Chain A
Amino acid sequence: MSAASPLLEVRDVKVYFPVKHGIFGAVRRWVKAVDGVSFELAAGETLGLVGESGCGKTTLGRALARLVPLTEGSIRLEGEDMAQWTGAQLRARRRKWQMIFQDPYNSLDPRMTVGHIIGEALEIHHLASDARERQARVRQLLESVGLDGAYAAFYPHEFSGGQRQRIGIARALAVDPKLIICDEPVSALDVSVQAQIINLLQDLQQERGVAYLFVAHDLAVVERISRRVMVMYLGKVVELGQAAAVVRTPRHPYTQALISAVPEIDDQSQRPRIVLSGELPSPIDPPSGCPFHPRCPVAEARCKLEVPLLREIVPGHWAACHLAGPASRAEA
């Protein structure tokens, strides 16, 4: 890898799923789950990813992990096109990325002990010379995610949701990856465990230089862990910028609504809420023009007609809104 190229380069990625049972019978339609997403991720960086439920975050993560095929576009890891890897080449590179899933219930094999689940990853990638060393590594990994090493002998069903999520993280860490795609890794955790995991992920990043794509719904969590934040809406990136800038001066009206809806402990009513009205759009039949226009509180006539491009509004801060300008409209 040349020093200049980023760890991950995502160019115009599209992932479409066919809809077979449409009400129009034979007509084939598509769910445009991810519709032209581009970004870069540097080694050791964290990019936060937020957005409406169903906007394509998991699908994007799965595409990066090669778990769903790309309909269009390219993904380069350390300068190499991932789509070109096959066979032995692919096997040799599999260790470079790992995924931590949204649903800790389905992602752990119920018939295997936790020790076996974590140990398997070590075995596949020949990361321990014998059973003894493997066991020691498993204990160490469990302890590094705040679980008692004795848990290695237990089965997944014996754990609570949060504990299972930690097991998933331990498994991902086992192979010492360059990139971890974290799909809502802390959503299922109580806040103290959540704080531990976030601190843990940050420590691991400092020690090992691992990069994260971090999907979450809790904006306070995302702000805390990410250097930059990317906001998606209906398969498209609508905003991208430094975490603090996106949270404090959101440029896109969707992001503005999102941030105003965060339930906060300290104030229950003082903050003005931007309540979105209107039908939730469907990725099967996305609106014309700006995908957000049917629900946008500040939409104008052209929003219905012209697709807004992702523009750099102020240096390092991008938004896809016709009305976004350097003078923030957030106060309006």
Chain B
Amino acid sequence: MLEIRNLQLEFRSDQQAVRAVDGVSFSIGPGETLGLVGESGSGKSVTALSIGRLLRTPPAFYAGGEILLNGRDVLKASNRELRELRGRGVSYIFQEPGVSLNPVFRVGAQIKESLRLHRPQAATEAEVVRLLQGVGIAAPEMRVKSYPHEISGGMQQRVMIAMALAAEPKLLVADEPTTALDVTIQAQILALLKDVQQRLGMSLLLITHNLGIVGQMADRVAVMYAGQIVETAPAQELLRRPLHPYTRALMQAAPRLGAEGGRLANIPGSVPRPGAMPFGCRFHPRCAMARPECSVQQPTLAVVEDGRQVRCPYWNSP
């Protein structure tokens, strides 16, 4: 369905080129859900946006790799092919709903436009209302007439979801689809995504920083740090037994309901800036398990167990 091989993405300006994605590979089968988690700024969104070639070039520049969607390399696709591919091939729930909705059109008109482009036979008022109902919007007949600024952040996000589902895509890329939603509506949206997925055999690339959602939704998980994948594993196994030191630290930092107070564990230091990556392992300045060798040699992503890859030679040391 989707296969990304050794993707190299740079942002170039007059002064410099910074590599935001450095050698990312993963694949998603039909009907499968891959969870993509990782440090803020690690390159999850730009990787995902590359699948539909949605980054402006320049400043973005593809320095290498392939993105095969149904066997075709989208990095080599013509503009016409790209237009076909966006929508029914891959559609998006963007991380920033406020930006993705057009402020001058009513939300109903925007969903209808998405239907007109991708499923013209279904471009009716009734279908628009049905889609809005599906994402839990109250009084949808009235809400179709609202402008984006007149609805709450969570409602904007749900309108975005309705628009993405309107196309009935083969691959849905959902970038933090429920961060602006309260947990009861979140549960409803996740159930809706699962339901649509089963009905259409849709594949799902789910970017989230909520590890609870990963456990509920994902078949497999890929963890990113500083432009690279540092661990991949079946979702339940990763949550039960994270192997990479970054993934372990991440799980310790997650706040849990009803836990006693005190400070949250966090990872000291901050994410390296693309263009100022540390030598050796990119995580070593912040790693609790680092040893002198870590600042010299960059580790590779190696298969360590059936279905599990880890970018750390010392994952198994005490």
Residue numbers of A with Cβ under 8 A of B are 17, 19, 21-23, 50-54, 58, 102-103, 105-106, 146-148, 150-151, 158-163, 184, 187-196, 198-199, 202, 217-221, 223-224, 247-248, 257-259, 261-266, 268, 273, 275-276, 279-282, 284-285
A172 to chain B, nearest CB (A): 18
Contacts A191-B211, A191-B254, A199-B263 known; 17 new A-B pairs at CB < 8 A = A21-B145, A184-B179, A184-B180, A192-B250, A192-B253, A194-B253, A196-B266, A220-B257, A220-B259, A257-B184, A261-B183, A261-B184, A262-B257, A263-B215, A265-B256, A281-B138, A282-B139
Give bound CA distance, A240 to B179, whole Å. Answer: 24
B187–A162 touching, CB < 8 Å: no
B120 at interface by CB-CB < 8 Å? no
Using CB atoms, name the residue of chain B closest to A257.
B184
A258–B253 touching, CB < 8 Å: no
Give bound CA distance, A268 to B239, whole Å. Answer: 11
Give bound CA distance, A312 to B73, whole Å. Answer: 63
Give bound CA distance, A192 to B213, whole Å. Answer: 16
Using CB atoms, name the residue of chain A closest to B146.
A21
Using CB atoms, name the residue of chain A closest to B139.
A282
B104 at interface by CB-CB < 8 Å? no
> Within the complex, which residue of B150, B184, B265 is in contact with A52, where a contact is CB–CB below 8 Å?
B184
> Within the complex, which residue of B150, B257, B266 is in contact with A195, where a contact is CB–CB below 8 Å?
B266
B96 at interface by CB-CB < 8 Å? yes
Give bound CA distance, A93 to B114, whole Å. Answer: 47
Tell me whether chain A's interface is mostly helix, strand or loop, or mixed.
Answer: loop
Give bound CA distance, A248 to B259, whole Å. Answer: 10
B155–A265 touching, CB < 8 Å: no
B257–A53 touching, CB < 8 Å: no
B169 at interface by CB-CB < 8 Å? no
Query: Known interface pairs A190-B37, A262-B212. Does A223 touch B257 (Cβ–Cβ under 8 Å)?
Result: yes
Give bound CA distance, A224 to B261, whole Å. Answer: 6
Chain A residues with CB under 8 Å of B236's CB are 268
A53–B211 touching, CB < 8 Å: no
> Within the complex, which residue of A53, A161, A221, A281 is in contact with B96, where a contact is CB–CB below 8 Å?
A161
Chain A residues with CB under 8 Å of B261's CB are 224
Chain A residues with CB under 8 Å of B266's CB are 192, 195-196, 199
> Within the complex, which residue of A146, A163, A282 is in contact with B142, where a contact is CB–CB below 8 Å?
A282
Give bound CA distance, A187 to B176, whole Å. Answer: 9
User: Which residues of B from 118 to 168 have beta carbons under 8 Å from A?
Assistant: 136-139, 141-142, 145-146, 150-155, 158
Using CB atoms, name the residue of chain A closest to B150.
A17
Chain B residues with CB under 8 Å of A284's CB are 139, 142
Chain B residues with CB under 8 Å of A191's CB are 209, 211, 250, 253-255
B95–A161 touching, CB < 8 Å: yes
Query: Known interface pairs A161-B40, A280-B138. Does A106 touch B98 (Cβ–Cβ under 8 Å)?
Result: yes
In the complex, how many residues of chain B place their beta carbon closer than 8 angstroms to a beta carbon of chain A? Answer: 66
A162–B250 touching, CB < 8 Å: no
Using CB atoms, name the residue of chain A closest to B236.
A268
Query: Known interface pairs A53-B154, A53-B155, A220-B256. Does A265 touch B212 (Cβ–Cβ under 8 Å)?
Result: yes
A192–B249 touching, CB < 8 Å: yes
Query: Known interface pairs A195-B265, A265-B256. Does A276 touch B209 (Cβ–Cβ under 8 Å)?
Result: no
A135 to chain B, nearest CB (A): 19
Contact bitstring B23-55, A, C-beta under 8 A = 1, else 0: 000000000000001111110010000000000
B210 at interface by CB-CB < 8 Å? yes
Using CB atoms, name the residue of chain A closest to B178.
A217
B258 at interface by CB-CB < 8 Å? yes
Give bound CA distance, A189 to B211, whole Å. Answer: 12
Using CB atoms, name the residue of chain B closest to A202.
B263
Which 10 A/B pairs are nearest by Cβ-Cβ distance?
A162-B40, A53-B154, A263-B212, A160-B41, A195-B264, A195-B266, A220-B255, A280-B138, A282-B139, A190-B209
B185 at interface by CB-CB < 8 Å? yes
B287 at interface by CB-CB < 8 Å? no
B136 to chain A, nearest CB (A): 6
Give bound CA distance, A190 to B226, whole Å. Answer: 13
Give bound CA distance, A17 to B98, whole Å. Answer: 20
Query: Known interface pairs A219-B257, A280-B137. Does A188 touch B95 (Cβ–Cβ under 8 Å)?
Result: yes
Using CB atoms, name the residue of chain A closest to B184.
A261
A194–B209 touching, CB < 8 Å: yes
Give bound CA distance, A25 to B249, whole Å. Answer: 57
B209–A217 touching, CB < 8 Å: no
Query: Known interface pairs A52-B184, A195-B266. Does A263 touch B150 (Cβ–Cβ under 8 Å)?
Result: no
> Within the complex, which residue of B11, B136, B141, B146 is in contact with A280, where a contact is CB–CB below 8 Å?
B136
Some 9 contacts from A to B, beta carbons below 8 A apart, are A58-B153, A105-B98, A148-B276, A160-B45, A190-B37, A192-B39, A220-B254, A263-B187, A263-B216
Chain B residues with CB under 8 Å of A184's CB are 153, 179-180
Give bound CA distance, A316 to B178, whole Å. Answer: 32
User: Which residues of B from 208 to 264 have beta carbons under 8 Å from A?
Assistant: 209-213, 215-216, 236, 239, 249-251, 253-259, 261, 263-264
B79 at interface by CB-CB < 8 Å? no
Query: Known interface pairs A190-B38, A263-B216. Does A54 touch B187 (Cβ–Cβ under 8 Å)?
Result: no
Which of B239, B250, B273 is the most central at the interface, judged by chain A CB atoms within 10 Å of its CB? B273
Chain B residues with CB under 8 Å of A224's CB are 255, 259, 261, 264
Chain B residues with CB under 8 Å of A189's CB are 40, 209
Give bound CA distance, A185 to B79, whole Å. Answer: 38
Query: Known interface pairs A52-B182, A184-B180, A196-B266. Does A265 touch B251 (Cβ–Cβ under 8 Å)?
Result: yes
Give bound CA distance, A265 to B180, whole Å. Answer: 19
